[in-house]
């Protein structure tokens, strides 16, 4: 993957120039543009404003960054403006690139936007769509012991790499038809200089599963993941 930065309509776009030449326009980071092109193929359950679009470089997922917590009703999708390098989209784009370079199963980043608006900015992220997958939230009760062990192994690889994921939940883990697990949505995630313990991330995943999984799924988690560190 080759990183390049381009300006478009007063914004900056960080993109993978090994796939996109010339640089993508800022409209690629706007859901309404894809809607106007009749290119929206699906909405992603549990992923905020994420949509699947048919882009010139194949199926892709566009996610707009949204505020959470008590500040969400006030600022919605606006963040205090610092530099583009510190923006949510640019940071997640680069983290995905680093994780992929480590051989970890994450989507390929395609483009990220930094869209200044007065003292604030807005941001979007476009990633390669991972086909034929189902989220852990929908299949926890169906998983075999082999699939649970595969998930435990993948999580250990992320933790060993030093990943800190602040929102590891049952919709951010996908299983494909080949038995491969993928991790998604790395907003505010980062890599430490040493392996992560993983305890808080596993606890966050447990809380998520209690909302989505039945007895079989919770039993699988208890057997294979609860003590994972």
Rounded Cα gap, residues 86 and 25, in angstroms: 21
Q: Which single residue is written with the structure tokens 């914004």?
A: 11
Tokens at 83, concatenated: 């530099």
> Is 77 one of the catalytic residues?
no
Rounded Cα gap, residues 77 and 81, in angstroms: 12
Q: What beta strand segments (E) does 29-143 contain?
A: 40-43, 51-55, 58-64, 79-80, 109-117, 120-128, 133-135
Half-sphere exposure of 170 (CA within 13 A, CB side): 21
Phi and psi at 48, nearest 5°, equal 65, -120
Which is catalytic among the residues 167, 187, 222, 227?
167
- Asked if 26 and 113 touch (Cβ cutoff 8 Å), the reply is yes
Residues tagged active-site = 167
């Amino acid at each position: 993957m080759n990183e390049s930065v381009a300006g478009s309509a007063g914004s900056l776009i960080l993109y993978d120039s090994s796939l996109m030449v010339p640089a993508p326009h800022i409209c690629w980071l706007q859901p309404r543009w894809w809607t106007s092109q009749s290119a929206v193929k699906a909405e992603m359950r549990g992923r905020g404003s994420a949509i699947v679009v048919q882009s010139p470089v194949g199926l892709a997922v566009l996610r707009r960054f949204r505020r959470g917590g008590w500040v969400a009703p006030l600022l919605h999708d606006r963040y205090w403006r610092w530099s583009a390098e510190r923006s949510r989209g640019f940071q997640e784009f680069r983290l995905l690139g680093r994780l992929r370079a480590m051989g970890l199963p994450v989507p390929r980043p395609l483009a990220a936007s930094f869209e200044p608006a007065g003292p604030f900015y807005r941001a979007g992220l476009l990633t390669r769509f991972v086909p034929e997958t189902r989220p852990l939230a929908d299949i926890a009760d169906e998983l075999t012991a082999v699939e649970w062990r595969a998930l435990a192994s993948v999580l250990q690889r992320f933790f060993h790499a030093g990943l800190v994921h602040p929102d590891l939940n049952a919709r951010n883990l996908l299983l494909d038809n080949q038995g491969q697990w993928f991790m998604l949505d790395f907003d505010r995630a980062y890599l430490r200089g040493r392996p992560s313990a993983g305890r808080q991330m596993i606890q966050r995943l447990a809380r998520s599963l209690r909302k989505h999984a039945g007895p079989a799924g919770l039993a699988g988690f208890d057997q294979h993941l609860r003590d994972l560190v």
